[in-house]
C-alpha cells in the first residue's frame, strides 16, 4: 500500500482479507517472492511477513465472500500454502520462541461475543 509502512499495510490486509484484528510487530520475520497473476501478465512480487497477535475476529470483513478463514496448526498451514518460502517462514517462526511473546493475555474474542465476568 502506498504511503504506508509495510507493517501497517500487513495489519490492514489481515483485517480486509481474514477479518482479524490485533497487535502487529513492526519487525518482519522474513520475506518471500511469488508470481502474482494480473489482468494482462504475471508480476514477481516480494512480500514481507509480519507476526500479528490476534485480539479479535470480525464476523464481517471486506473479503469475506472471497476467502475462507480457518485456524490450524503452523505445521498444517506451512504445508497448505502454495509458496514454499512462506511455508518455511511459518515453520521457523512457530519453532522460535518469538511467537510466545505475542500470545494474547486474554482469549481471542469473536465480534459480538461478550466476556463472562470470570473471563473479564
Show pLDDT as tens, one digit a residue, over the chain (120 residues). 789 999 999 999 999 999 999 999 999 999 999 999 999 999 999 999 999 989 999 999 999 999 989 999 999 999 999 999 999 999 999 998 777 666 655 656 666 654 444 444
Confirm whether 105 is domain-assigned. yes
Confirm whether 82 is domain-assigned. no
Structural domain boundaries enclosing 16: 6-67+101-110
Confirm whether 60 is domain-assigned. yes
pLDDT computed for residue 112 by the predictor? 60
- The helix/strand/coil state of 10 is helix
In angstroms, rounded to a whole number, what is the distance separating the alpha carbons of residues 14 and 51?
11
Confirm whether 40 is domain-assigned. yes
Confirm whether 52 is domain-assigned. yes
In angstroms, rounded to a whole number, what is the distance separating the alpha carbons of residues 114 and 63?
25
Confirm whether 30 is domain-assigned. yes
Q: How many domains does the chain have?
A: 1
Question: Checking DSSP bridges between strand 30-37 and strand 42-49, what pairing results, if any?
Answer: antiparallel
Confirm whether 38 is domain-assigned. yes
Amino acid at each position: 500500500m502506498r504511503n504506508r509502512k509495510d507493517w501497517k499495510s500487513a495489519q490492514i490486509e489481515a483485517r480486509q482479507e481474514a477479518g482479524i484484528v490485533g497487535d502487529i510487530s513492526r519487525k518482519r520475520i522474513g520475506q518471500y517472492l511469488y508470481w502474482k497473476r494480473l489482468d494482462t501478465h504475471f508480476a514477481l512480487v516480494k512480500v514481507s511477513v509480519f507476526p500479528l497477535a490476534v485480539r479479535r475476529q470480525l464476523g464481517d470483513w471486506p473479503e469475506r465472500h472471497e476467502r475462507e478463514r480457518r485456524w490450524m496448526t503452523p505445521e498444517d498451514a506451512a504445508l497448505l500454502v502454495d509458496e514454499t518460502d512462506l511455508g518455511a517462514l511459518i515453520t521457523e517462526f512457530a519453532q522460535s520462541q518469538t511467537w510466545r511473546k505475542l500470545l494474547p493475555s486474554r482469549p481471542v474474542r469473536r465480534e459480538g461475543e461478550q466476556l463472562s465476568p470470570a473471563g473479564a
